[in-house]
Amino acid sequence: MSLITTLVGTLLFAVLGPVVGCLLAGLDRIVSARMQGRVGPPLLQPYYDVRKLFEKERASVNSAERVYVAAALLFALIAGGVFFSGGNLLLCVFVITLSSLFFIMAAYSTRSPYAEVGAARETLQVMCYEPMVLLMAVAFFQATGSFDVAAVLDMPHPVVCTIGLVFLGVLFILTIKLRKSPFDLALSHHAHQEIVRGVTTEMSGPTLGLVEIMHWCENVLFMGWIAMFFVWGSPLSAIAVVAVVALVYFLEIWIDNNFARVKWQFMFKSAWLVALVAGGVNIALLAFL
């Protein structure tokens, strides 16, 4: 893909990504509330919350914190632009990981004990899901012959037919990447977080607003990864994509509301075991069969 295409895709994602992500966050709150027997907030409540954050006075522990958060958001937008413009999937994976690292550095820069604990746990989560994400990119190359996401449009069938085990592995680590129970060790959107707010403990106002927008963009990107497995060179793939993405997102909300948090040891062992079995076996089958 050309640089111009990637730039245009990034600009479009910067406009549309937060909008779609905001709606997904609002839908998450509504569905979670109904599962808990509550009415829940309006669909646009996440937007109202972020708008209120940007109206607050700028206050942060140091200027480095805002720079790191802004860099994390920027790289999240670039990763989304690369992916949705049909660009290199491996590059997308590296860029979104870089975004996560800047987010971690933002928490460490505050020198708060709570934020540092959250940052350490966030680092551990990156170590848990990154092997499976990298294996996803490798398996995608084996299935399509290219790292370009646009290659799925030339396929006679969805890539999930070839790398179904990898899809199951990505489905498992998706809960970690979305920071939902039982893997919300570093940052939780619920009130049961025992380390206050984890990574974002010392963040407030516009800085926290940027973090929320970054999460929205990440959610859209990760749902795009799920959709990638079910796209092929047919208009009918659009129906399959919408159905699967809706089902997967509902499943993640259901898991978030029905499972208690696990220890980090279980998260680490299970994530690496899934990567070894689901990713390793699938790649080996494609390589030797």
Q: Where are the domains of the chain?
A: 3-288
Residues 137-179 have pLDDT tens digits of 999 999 999 999 999 998 999 999 999 999 999 999 999 999 8
**Angular region, 101: left φ>0, alpha ψ -120 to 50, beta rest:** alpha
Contact 183, 262 (CB under 8 A): yes
Q: Which residues of the chain have pLDDT under 50?
A: 193, 195
What is the predicted pLDDT for the residue at 189? 63
At 1 the pLDDT is 54
For the entire predicted model, the pTM comes to 0.92
Q: How many CA atoms lie within 13 A of 268 on its CB side?
A: 8
Structure tokens at 181: 């129970």
- For residue 238, the cross-strand partners are none
Q: What b/e sequence results for 209-239 when a residue is b if at least 16 CB atoms lie within 10 Å of its CB, and e otherwise?
A: bbbbbbbbbbbbbbbbbbbbbbbbeeeebee
In terms of Cβ atoms closer than 10 Å to its own Cβ (0-12, 13-18, 19+), residue 101 is middle
pLDDT value at residue 196: 54
From CA 115, how far away is CA 173, in angstroms rounded? 23
User: Nearest Cα to 76, choosing from 51, 104, 102?
Assistant: 102
Question: CA torsion, points 18, 20, 22, 23, in degrees to nearest 10?
Answer: 170
**pLDDT the model gives residue 197:** 62
Structure confidence at residue 287 (pLDDT): 86
Assess contact for 109 and 65: CB atoms under 8 A: yes
